[in-house]
Structure 1
């Protein structure tokens, strides 16, 4: 639709330049705003300043009539609130009507995580006498050791790893960077892979690159490739669970909290902008503490 082209363009530039938003984030903002523009066109609203609380309620009713989840509606509202905050700042509108609209309460899903026994089986399944086995072991160790996202793991370069300090520089969402430490097991697996298996894999490609994790042809692994590797490891370990790279991130956070790490530290290690994102893991800590209490307190 041709209306509001300039406003949309200015907002996109704001997200790119001032907010350092990732292309993925910008895509969702644009999609949410576009659906709102389509609604305004259908309602005959030709000025963004005409939108008020009543218009927003009609918009929300339509969203729920489409059987959209509360999570999706909440995301749309959040996108539009940010959009109108920008419009207000640029004096395109005089007020932000989305400020008075509360986000729908969402059921917070309990993140899936692996128990220590399940992890141990995965750690012993790779044949580390082969280049691919060394790679798989290093991949598993670093994902669990750092809790990084699969998109961050894909971008990892040799220069990002500091073996002398035992830290890795992770390039996160929105161009944010963070240093995360890793332990002895991850270090040994990474060193073995980088010094041996990775060189063997790289020889299969006629190109040079500094990406840490390579596929069987010597090219950088894709997120789908990482998921496939984990699926095969689970199959080889004869586990009856479905494991994703993100589940290792959940496991990383859950195990740290269960062992006494504070929430703020885990937030920083995960690269979460808001503490509320990290708090989804506290349910496991509460269960863990309850079990300790019930098993230890004399009058439990």
Structure 2
């Protein structure tokens, strides 16, 4: 293959790489050759196009060409790299960096360090299908434990007196009362797991409790606010510039059935039975056996059938391939964005949340005189949680004096 001097020397993959004509460097910077007069090698067909992908070609301008060299046939040319190759590790090249593996139960003993025991504890939480939020909050709680005792502290050396000092230390921290309660609950779960696995003979925190703190109940929606939400959702589905049926369906599931936002997020099309359109049935499914109390079948309002039919006609495809089996096309964060926008459209003073809609549904059922056990089943809460909710509902639904 022959190489010529012309207006510039170009590599086949990038027209920015060229060598200026040596006769007049300053002039070549000022003058630009029109693209149609250049040869771009294998990137663009022009004069002197070469079939060899590993080659250099000279730009040809005018009629003057000067041969400066000739490469033997079969010579391959590799374009210089713009960047250094990625270092071995988490990139596409080289071996992956090994990640720490949780120790087996047989490898954990009373002589193991606290950090090893906590690593084993987090692995047990994953194996027992604890929710992501629970694992995250327990991880923060065990960080407090490491901060207090240190990573190398042995498990069998942690005594009841040590845990009492830990409790006093937690009380002195500038944290909310609810955070302190969750922390001691997580620590109690950690030592209970160690005791059940016979890693330690007893739990040093079994008899240590913080004062239980009730989470504040959200403010209920007034009847006028509920009507404003329904009108805003209906307007969004019919008269908006770009109609969207998601707010109407979402409001029905949260306000008329009292579902949690996570339950709506996991809902699938097959979970709604429309065999009798005027009596749709919504089935709330949980795979883990420890959540069996949350499994329930709810009778929905008649308008749920029309809302679902309108939604399925609008969203005939799922843009997110990871949610092909889910009823709604967006995940939990997107659902919360829908709820917030709906509250703004209705003119609510405070931000609207799914929990606020769920409590409004519970208060409406409580005012109608629904039996307590029926309400507990509809809401899918435990007996202990229902004690708290019923006490709050009594306070929230008192008649004005």
TM-score, length-scaled by structure 1 = 0.80
- Equivalent in the alignment of 1:141: 252
Report if aligned partners of 1:147, 1:252 keep a CA contact under 8 Å in 2: yes
Task: For 2:352 and 2:389, locate their aligned partners in 1 and report how far apart those are by CA, in whole Å.
Answer: 19
- Equivalent in the alignment of 2:186: 79
Matched, 1:55 2:157: no
- Once the two structures are TM-superposed, the CA of residue 35 in structure 1 deviates from its matched residue by 2.3
SS of 1:93's partner is coil
Q: Could you report, residue by residue, the CA deviation over 1:175-233 in whole angstroms, capped at 9, with x for unpaired residues?
A: 73623412213333222222x2222xx38x496924222xxxxxx21322222222222
- Once the two structures are TM-superposed, the CA of residue 34 in structure 1 deviates from its matched residue by 3.0
CA RMSD for the aligned pairs?
3.0
Report if aligned partners of 1:167, 1:180 keep a CA contact under 8 Å in 2: yes
- Once the two structures are TM-superposed, the CA of residue 138 in structure 1 deviates from its matched residue by 1.0
Structure in which a larger fraction of residues adopt helix: 1
Which of 195, 198, 207 is residue 315 of structure 2 equivalent to? 198
- Equivalent in the alignment of 2:202: 95
- Equivalent in the alignment of 1:153: 264
- Equivalent in the alignment of 1:179: 296
1:101-250 matches, cutoff 5 A: 101-126=208-233, 127=235, 128-129=237-238, 132-164=243-275, 166-171=280-285, 176=291, 178-181=295-298, 182-194=300-312, 196-199=313-316, 202=317, 205=319, 209-213=324-328, 220-250=329-359
SS of 2:282's partner is strand
Report if aligned partners of 1:272, 1:278 keep a CA contact under 8 Å in 2: no
1:264-283 matches, cutoff 5 A: 264-276=373-385, 279-283=388-392
Task: For 2:171 and 2:280, locate their aligned partners in 1 and report how far apart those are by CA, in whole Å.
Answer: 49
Q: Note the residue ranges of structure 2 that are not aligned, 5 or more in a row.
A: 1-111
SS of 1:97's partner is coil
Which of 14, 18, 26 is residue 124 of structure 2 equivalent to? 14
Task: For 2:286 and 2:259, locate their aligned partners in 1 and report how far apart those are by CA, in whole Å.
Answer: 9
Task: For 1:206 and 1:239, locate their aligned partners in 2 and report how far apart those are by CA, in whole Å.
Answer: 31
**Structure with the greater alpha carbon radius of gyration:** 2
Q: How many residues align?
A: 279
**Higher relative contact order structure (alpha carbons within 8 Å, sequence separation ≥ 6):** 1
Instruction: Indicate how the Cα distance of structure 1 residues 275 and 183 shifts in structure 2: closer, same or farther if over 3 A, else same.
Output: farther
Instruction: Indicate how the Cα distance of structure 1 residues 86 and 119 shifts in structure 2: closer, same or farther if over 3 A, else same.
Output: same
Moved more, 260-269 or 156-165: 260-269
TM-score, length-scaled by structure 2 = 0.62
- Equivalent in the alignment of 2:143: 34
- Equivalent in the alignment of 2:22: none
Report if aligned partners of 1:137, 1:189 keep a CA contact under 8 Å in 2: yes
Report if aligned partners of 2:170, 2:180 keep a CA contact under 8 Å in 1: yes
Q: Could you report, residue by residue, the CA deviation over 1:103-150 in whole angstroms, capped at 9, with x for unpaired residues?
A: 223254133221222111111113223674322111111111222222
Which of 111, 114, 125 is residue 4 of structure 1 equivalent to? 114
